[in-house]
Amino acid sequence: MRKKNDNILKSLTIAPISFWILFFVAIPLLYIVFISFMQRGDDGSIVYIPTISNYTRMANSLYVKVFWDSILVASITTLFTLGFGYPFAYFATKIKKYKFIIMMLIMAPFLTNSLIRTYGWIVILSTGGMLNHVLLKIGIVKEPLKMLYTYGAVMIGMIYTMLPFMVLPLYNSIDKMDKAYIEAAKDLGASKWKTFRTVTIPLTMPGIVAGCILVFIPSVGLFFIPDLMGGSNVMLIGNLIKNQFLEANDWPFGAALSIVMIFVSLILILVYVKIIGKKLDAEVF
């Protein structure tokens, strides 16, 4: 009887989550898969006649370039956030006295809307913005630099927006690391760099992998940063999908692009995790 009550309690606990996943994730995703094999009508409606033309259409060199640019931007964003985030998280764990302040600094960006922060960067990077004003004032440049509406501006916006998603799992992983391994490495005569490379990094690899996944997946599909900071000069897969749904009214093609984007992202993540796992096993054994 008690076991039956426990099972009922577990079912009641899982039910809300299962309902949420089913109706707000699974069903919409299945609908997107379904309409990706349909056709677009002349008036922008969905014509329920099966076709694979939405997928074959992506072989066009224009769409291949958009996919490649999106993967490249997401990869660079992930590498830079890891490069900036790991040292910050590492040294943050060493300053126990100011742990609360450091955690507030990490969480502060989440307290404001990402669109507002993006507009802040537009003000800074624009031709008449703060950065150009300072550069002109101190004589480094003679005329305003064109920094906005470039891939460089998009990269700045992406790195700034995604940095907290990298820092949080890294901080958690480094903070919970067993310090006894580091002490053992020091006792055996390992230098600080060798200890960091052979002990600290492998032990914090779960945080690195989690951070990279949390940054890479959203970076592939983000569209508002390229839209605002890249303008018409930057087209990524997120912008292309948004344009198909909201401007071109080509929902089947937009759905097909979404499915391929999800599929490519999952493949790259699985490859990344597999490579990291092999490296970790090699270093441990």
Three-state SS sequence of 102-114: HHHHHHHHHHCCH
39: helix, strand or coil: strand
Whether the pLDDT of residue 285 is over 50: the answer is no
Query: Residue 222 sits in which domain range?
Result: 60-284
The reported pLDDT for the residue numbered 1 is 57
In a domain, 138, yes or no: yes
Which of 75-79, 142-146, 202-206, 276-280 has the weakest average pLDDT?
276-280
In a domain, 272, yes or no: yes
In a domain, 70, yes or no: yes
In a domain, 39, yes or no: no
The CA distance from 268 to 213, in Å, is 10
**How far, in whole angstroms, is CA 17 from its chain's centroid?**
24
In a domain, 16, yes or no: no
The amino acid present at 81, given as its one-letter code, is T
Per-residue pLDDT reduced to its tens digit, 178-215: 888 888 888 888 888 888 888 888 889 889 988 998 99
The reported pLDDT for the residue numbered 15 is 81
The reported pLDDT for the residue numbered 284 is 47
278 Cβ partners below 8 Å, 6+ apart?
none
DSSP annotation of 147 = -
The reported pLDDT for the residue numbered 14 is 81
In a domain, 25, yes or no: no
**How many domains are contained in the chain?**
1
> Whole-number mean pLDDT of the chain?
87
95: helix, strand or coil: coil
In a domain, 10, yes or no: no
Reported confidence tier of residue 252, pLDDT bands at 50, 70, 90: very high
The reported pLDDT for the residue numbered 215 is 94
Q: Model's pTM, two decimal places?
A: 0.85
Per-residue pLDDT reduced to its tens digit, 226-238: 999 998 888 999 9
Residue showing tokens 């597999």: 274
In a domain, 112, yes or no: yes
Which of 95-104, 151-160, 198-207, 240-249 has the weakest average pLDDT?
95-104
DSSP annotation of 47 = E
Per-residue pLDDT reduced to its tens digit, 45-81: 899 999 999 999 999 999 999 999 999 999 999 999 9
Q: What percent of the chain has pLDDT over 70?
A: 94
The reported pLDDT for the residue numbered 94 is 84
Reported confidence tier of residue 2, pLDDT bands at 50, 70, 90: low
CA-nearest of 147, 158, 146 to 236 is 158
Q: 191: left (phi > 0), else alpha (psi -120 to 50), else beta?
A: beta
CATH of the domain at 75: 1.10.3720.10
